[in-house]
Amino acid sequence: MLFLIGVLVVVVGVALSIALHEIGHLVPAKKFGVKVTQYMVGFGPTIWSRRRGETEYGIKAIPLGGYVRMVGMLPPRPGDVEGQLRTVSTGRFSQMVDQARADSMEEVRPEDADRVFYKLSPGRKVVVMLGGPLMNLLIGFVLITGVITLYGLPQVVPKVGLISECVPTATPTVADPHPACAPGDPAAPAKLGGLRENDRIVAINGAPVSTWTAVAAAIRDSGGSPMTFVVQRGGEEVTLTVTPARLERATLDEQGAPVTQDGKLVLKSVGFMGITPGQELVTTPLLEAPRFVWDRVVDTASVIWRIPEKMVGVAEAAFGSGERDPNGPISVVGVGRIGGEVAALDIPADEGGNWLKIAQLVLLIASLNLALFVFNLIPLLPLDGGHVAGAMWEAVKRGWAKLRNRPDPGYVDVAKGLPIAYGMSLVLITMSVLLIYADIVKPISIFG
């Protein structure tokens, strides 16, 4: 039941995100006088619609997108009289473009001649087409800011999380860089020294510590010498003496991967206590929220940039024996499944309980909105970024002509980009079908 609730929350969140995205186009288009005949959430058969004024508002059966139909999206071909179209093209792509122009002109009535999209100034075209992606960015910003400033995010703190039972004495290898305990291994120093889970470490060898990084560095560099820990436990400070073990451990690079040389691990002698860091919810100051959200946008952009590469792995996993990359792309089916898994988690009340699950679902929807923002900025039709690129090119051409006292070159003929749009649409449909199939037959499970 909880799983289904989580899926439903994601479905509603996706639908609302799409609806608000389209409102981001609708409002400025109407503000600038463009005639909008339809505002639809979803694709396929219409489930419900209602006409208000000149615009039909409705919901369609497949909630995988939406659209705002503005009249006159495509300009007439240079040399054509407005409202008339010469059919002189013989090539297949040219005929497709001419048909698209004809379909666009059919919507334009004589009284709407000055209410067509293509007659907007380049700046207004950019505002209309960026309205959708910027709405997604705003949604993501508001949701993320609300979670990180009001509720907080789990962060590593100088607190004992888990305590190992023993000291793994096996030498690390390339095949097993982090060996586990084996029968006969000695007990972990933390266990022998009396440390307990949830002990907050406040000082080591008389020096205050406020981060887990400082704790880890002190243990690593101890050389196996006895260390004095002051911990907070049950409202009291307790002093303990713990002697770390000395172990040969793999050297890690900046990404946390083991460093190798000549096919072997690069080892170094470090202190070992046998503890892992604990986590606590830590709120972020409001003024730091923009930087936090920007970092998430950059991370999202780096993932989208690598989608073509990642899709190869998705195909291999879907049709072969490979495993899905947990950091790879997923479809709305995968997002819904993750939402269900989050809702179904059994989280104790003292570790966040239902509030933590709600926060994770909110962040999931926020991440989806950031992905919609970045993806729609790709400067290719039929994405919003393709229309923005056309408007910006029109501004450059007109500005350059004005600077050189040349005649106005007119509107940029975005219809010439329709073959690219058709190809891009085919690619997007193929990717969507592949991701949905992979999310059904071999889904990503972030909780094991």
Catalytic residues: 22
Q: 10 Å Cβ neighbour count for 18?
A: 21
Q: Give the pairing of strands 260-261 and 264-265.
A: antiparallel
Q: How far apart are CA 194 and CA 212, in angstroms?
A: 19
Rg (CA), the chain: 29
Pairing of strands 267-272, 245-250: antiparallel
The pairs formed by 286-291 with CB atoms below 8 angstroms and a separation of 24 or more are 286/145, 286/149, 289/141, 289/144, 289/145, 289/148, 289/149, 290/141
Residue 286's φ and ψ, nearest 5 degrees, are: -55, -40
- For the record, the structure tokens of 42 come out as 């979803």
Beta strand extents in 53-85 (DSSP E only) = 55-70
User: Omega of the bond prior to 382 within 30 degrees of 0, cis?
Assistant: yes
Tokens representing residue 75 in the block: 């300009």
Is residue 157 within 8 A of residue 71, CB to CB? The reply is no
Bridge partners for 258 per DSSP: 252
Query: Is 160 strand, coil or helix?
Result: strand
Distance CA 231, CA 198 (A): 10
Dist. CA 153–CA 25, nearest whole Å: 33
Q: What are phi and psi of 201, to 5 degrees?
A: -85, 120
Collect all residues with Cβ–Cβ distance below 8 Å to 368 and sequence separation of at least 6. 13, 14, 17, 335
Q: Which amino acid is at 303?
A: V
Contacts of 313 (CB under 8 A, 6+ apart): 322, 324, 325, 328
Nearby residues of 124 by Cβ (< 8 Å), 6 or more positions away: 28, 32
Strand, helix or coil at 319?
Answer: helix
